[in-house]
Structure 1
């Protein structure tokens, strides 16, 4: 195993671990999560929220174990796009109210960029 392969493997484990931990935490606090409203003022059905959290778990595990990593990364990108547009739509806020949404949007865009690198590596 080359140094680059080793570093890529460790990076995928860390990256996947992030989403695995997030998915576990979200399921552990499922009731609280289902009570949150989107930026648009409505709640998502619990089943749809569960699908999103399952995407985090499956995507995270796929990165950690390098099992269909490109598919897992694609799943996570879809999750990030949907979650960001529903819960962190920074265009719906102004002034100081926008700050946390801007930050979380940038974080999610950065995560998506990293996931694109995972996909590129897997091809």
Structure 2
């Protein structure tokens, strides 16, 4: 008997993707709701064209998240998340340039984003493994 179930359709994979996507959905919705504040933060951090880059990055986060959740183009979606986290985390959560409570809050967000980046790398690997098994 051959097991034709791919790793992305097992209960742990489905639950993991649901939990991961839940966090990313909250981040994207919050990003759209607080766009003006995020544009100001990006501008202060030296991000070029923050009025364009912030909504673009938030949209990238949302679309890539949906791709992971629905397992549609998972390699491209995981790659987009990797680009998102590598492109935003060190510029927006540069805690090493801050002091006090601002430093602590940004350090926590930096570490959260690094963990989410790690998750995107695992998803990229799972998607590549699924491609190899097809």
The TM-score normalised by the length of structure 1 is 0.82
SS of the equivalent of 1:35 reads helix
Counterpart of 1:113?
118
- 8 Å contact from structure 1 (residues 88, 105) kept in 2: yes
The structure that has the greater radius of gyration is 2
Structure 2 unaligned spans of 5+: 129-134
Give the C-alpha shift of residue 107 in structure 1: 1.1
Structure 1 CA distance, aligned partners of 2:75 and 2:123?
Answer: 7
Counterpart of 2:16?
11
Asked if residue 60 in structure 1 is aligned to residue 65 in structure 2, the reply is yes
Asked if residue 28 in structure 1 is aligned to residue 49 in structure 2, the reply is no
Structure 2 CA distance, aligned partners of 1:113 and 1:78?
Answer: 12
- 8 Å contact from structure 1 (residues 14, 64) kept in 2: no
- 8 Å contact from structure 1 (residues 38, 87) kept in 2: no
SS of the equivalent of 2:122 reads helix
> Runs of at least 4 residues of structure 1 off by over 4 A?
1-4, 41-44, 94-97
1:35 and 1:116, CA in 2 relative to 1: closer, same or farther beyond 3 A? same
Structure 2 CA distance, aligned partners of 1:53 and 1:120?
Answer: 24
Structure 1 unaligned spans of 5+: none
